[in-house]
Amino acid sequence: MTQKAPVFTREATGLIRNVSLLDAVSLNVSNMSAGAALAVVGYTTILLPTMSGVNLVYGSIIVFVMLIPQIIIYTIMTQRMARTGGDYVWVSRTLGGFLGNVLALPGYTLGNLPYASLIALSAVFAIGSVGVFFFPSSTSLLGLALPGNISGATPSLQFVVASAILIILMAINILRPKVAYKLISIFTIFGTFAVVLAIITLLTAGNNGVVNYMNTLNASGANATYTSVSNSYTGPTFDWGATATMLPFFALFVYPWVNAGPAVASEIKGKNSLKWNVPISAIMVMLLTTGAFASMYYVGGEAFINGAFANTNLVNNYSFNFWTLAMGVTSNAVIQWVIGLGWILWIINILAYLVVVEGRYLMAQSFDRFLPTRVAYVSKYGSPVVAHMIDLIVILGLIAGASFLYGTFVSLYGTIVGPMIYFMFVGIAAVIHGIKKEVGRTKLVLVICGVLSAMVFFWLTAEFLLYPAIWGGNPLAYGFLVGSVIFGVIVYYGSKTYHARRGIDISLVFKQLPPE
């Protein structure tokens, strides 16, 4: 009989099983960032060579279909290995401790922290944009709404506000983690309601509402009418090549990010919650994202929407997006405030989820003794305090870097290459696990889905690397990823040497599942 390896930090995580199906779905929905995608899409479209033939509705559907294999993988593997850290556990137990840990650092544990910084800044832009909508003469609110590289922006104030939001969320997670989960669920419900309300508002206002909104912007100095913006667009309804250049956007913000629920699987109550949280959240986000862009095309016309998304002045100076358009087509102040608040809370909710999940990844790697065991400390409230503090320090530094050094929102996009590569290896791990551990239909499904998923993420990685001007390739982004890999290699061999001197072989930990 094989003796249980005495290498885990302790015999139980100390985390509490209090995550419901609603909480798990809410984590995934916030992770998939549809609200942010609908808000910041213009910051990407103005960088494209052309919007001619780019169809955002088709693009959303295409990427969702491409990533169905990944949804299936996470659904199956979450039930097989319901542990803190989710895919990190699967990859490290299948590909080995060295590869699993070195991949996980740039892939999620550290590689997703720049995204948290990006979302923190996006929350500031949302607050500023909603504020300017209601108080157009406020220069301080305009300073929050403008990207850092645009004249009139105030990066210092953006940094302060983003940092304050992050610190408050961290404090809630440290002192009352159960409250943090419920807060995410509440924000998700309200944000979802706000998206649906915005879609209904657009459909109710129709084309006349869009025309009137543009007349208002033109009168305020935008120098753009509905007709002029529509006429600025020339091209077909759909072109595969042009739309393909925009597909990585949906991978950056939306569809691959189904790993939040699985990352807290040991805290989820009930087998049905483990089974259904991923597919429910994925389908829900697809309907919201696709429906939002479809409603914009329906009431505005594709020529106008694409023309507006290619208009630097409208995107940067008037925050043209799904949220502002929905707020602009109605004169009902209550509806405007609900939509605006929904926009802000959706973005803050993404950051709230990141705080929860990032700490779990750090804790999982510490539990395996890859990282110092102190990182796995869980307080009496059931919170990985040390892991949260590490995340806080790194995210604050990245917010500062994006705000002051590069001064542009997309400067952090390039770090998404790390998670894309990581997700590719998740697919490879699914293939190997299927061949070695499964039989029958499950084996076949995992092998097929793993191969397809790996191919999709290989293509997405290539797209990110081939077009750095669009996807934020720069020393800040790539340097962070390379540094994470180097750090991972050093830490792994350092930990292995350190524990070997104390009679512990840490390679044994990756031959079994960690405790719950």
- Where b means 16+ CB within 10 Å and e means fewer, 328-365 reads bbbeeeebbebbbebbbbbbbbbbbbbbbbbbbbbbbb
What does pLDDT average to over the chain? 88
More confident call, 132 vs 11: 132
Task: Render pLDDT for 341-400 as a digit per residue (tens, 0 to 9).
Answer: 999 999 899 888 888 888 888 888 888 888 888 887 887 777 888 888 888 898 888 888
pTM, rounded to two decimals: 0.89
Please say if the pLDDT value at position 412 is more than 70. no
Indicate the range of 13-22, 67-76, 185-194, 262-271 predicted with least confidence: 13-22
Domains and CATH numbers, the chain: 21-511 (1.20.1740.10)
Q: 3-class DSSP state for residue 268?
A: strand
Residue 507 corresponds to which tokens in the numbers above? 């390679």
**Packed helices 87-95 and 333-367: angle between N→C axes, nearest 10 degrees:** 30
More confident call, 55 vs 468: 55
For residue 5, what pLDDT is reported? 44
pLDDT bin (cut points 50, 70, 90) of residue 1 is: very low
Please say if the pLDDT value at position 2 is more than 60. no
Residues in the chain: 516
Q: 3-class DSSP state for residue 357?
A: helix
pLDDT bin (cut points 50, 70, 90) of residue 449 is: very high
Please say if the pLDDT value at position 435 is more than 50. yes
Please say if the pLDDT value at position 404 is more than 80. no
Give the span between the Cα atoms of 35 and 119, in whole angstroms. Answer: 11
Candidates 457, 434, 455; CA nearest to 446 is: 434
Give the span between the Cα atoms of 439 and 356, in whole angstroms. Answer: 35
Helix (H) or strand (E) holding 185, with range, is helix 177-217
For residue 332, what pLDDT is reported? 96
Please say if the pLDDT value at position 16 is more than 70. no
Give the span between the Cα atoms of 516 and 500, in whole angstroms. Answer: 25
- Beta bridge partners, 136, equal none
Task: Render pLDDT for 65-98 as a digit per residue (tens, 0 to 9).
Answer: 999 999 999 999 999 888 888 899 999 999 999 9
CA distances from 467 to 92, 191, 442 (A): 31, 32, 37
Contacts of 245 (CB under 8 A, 6+ apart): 48, 49, 54, 463, 467, 470
Are the CB atoms for 424 and 458 separated by under 8 Å?
Answer: yes
Task: Render pLDDT for 98-137 as a digit per residue (tens, 0 to 9).
Answer: 999 999 988 888 887 887 888 888 888 889 889 988 888 8
Q: 3-class DSSP state for residue 150?
A: coil
For residue 15, what pLDDT is reported? 67
Give the span between the Cα atoms of 262 and 362, in whole angstroms. Answer: 15
Please report, rounded to a whole number, the percentage of residues in the chain having pLDDT higher than 90: 49
For residue 164, what pLDDT is reported? 93
More confident call, 215 vs 379: 215
Helix (H) or strand (E) holding 387, with range, is helix 385-400
Q: 3-class DSSP state for residue 176?
A: coil
Give the span between the Cα atoms of 166 and 121, in whole angstroms. Answer: 10
For residue 179, what pLDDT is reported? 86
CA distances from 8 to 55, 101, 376, 379, 429 (A): 50, 15, 10, 18, 22
Candidates 58, 129, 12; CA nearest to 378 is: 12
